[in-house]
Structure 1
Amino acid sequence: MPVEIRRLTIPEFSVHCPSFVDIYLSAMGYPTDIKDRQVAHWRRDTTHPGFEALCAIDRGYIVGFAYGFLGSRDHWWYHQLVKGVREQAPSSPLHWQVLSSYFEVAEVHVAPSCQSRGIGRHLLRGLTHRVPALYTVLSTPEVPDEANAAFHLYRSEGYRDLLRHYYFTGDDRPFAVLYSPSVGQREER
């Protein structure tokens, strides 16, 4: 039986949020003591305009998920990106154009035991298909030579550098922030 990708309502996302956070903690190697905080934070994210969520189900078990929403000048992440652009690329009009209309891919994660099966690609494509923004933007931890499945996926889907080796407030790891024209924008070119 193939993996099912299912679009979620906000109540469905909220109900399954603890399971999604478990996958996130495992995939990212974060400590489990942040679980309750993440669940509360992600449930608050459902109030952002344009919120979308999907999950991947294999043999009745949730094995992956993705969610995002429209970027906004009111969000913490937007302010982090503005700070990074000012520090790294203050003269680039493209960077400011991306920040003017983007869909934030907040999370895309697949359980480690189910990775490298194309599930993340299906989740990312399903989440970003026809978003009402000019660009999609996401972040991923930096790794030497971009040698991991996440970078491979994002590069193969056309994501380019917006920021590199950026430190988000509250995380001691460097991140790459990547962007891509939205699917509708790519098809118009």
Structure 2
Amino acid sequence: MKSNEFLLDAFARIREAVADTLDGAREEALLRRPSGNGNSIAWLIWHLSRVEDAQLASAAGLKQVWTSQGFAVRFNLPLPERDTGYGHSSDKVDKVKATPELLLEYYDAVHRQTAEFLATLGDEDFDRIVDTRWDPPVTLGVRLVSTIADCLQHVGQAAYAKGLNPARPA
């Protein structure tokens, strides 16, 4: 198995976990915040999607799906267009509202762009420097692994939050 195939599998697992978490989730459950101040499922799924979108687009030299495919307009959040959720206050977390369908549609579009990019990579590509703001500079391989770790952490939090508030029968 080649390195990019491992990464494709890892990102596919994020996609599966996002879909499973959103499956059957009611809109009110998406906005509920554990203990009243934890991150909502909607915010967690939006944030992990934004993180993957921003990190991969930057590393790949592509446009973010958020803006290039019109998701910023469709979500219509009262936040700056380039916002990814880093450092959000409680008030900003409350501003992220979306249906499960829109959240999944956005993540699926991000995942498609990620998978298309990963399919083009050879092992020699992973040592390419993609961010010189750090010491040591960040390689593509490190950026991909850190993105996977961040997204898996957040989708796990979202799944846990969904379990705290199981869907009630209609």
TM-score, length of structure 1 as denominator length: 0.24
TM-score, length of structure 2 as denominator length: 0.26
Question: Which protein has greater RCO, CA pairs closer than 8 Å, 6+ apart?
Answer: 2
Higher fraction of strand:
1
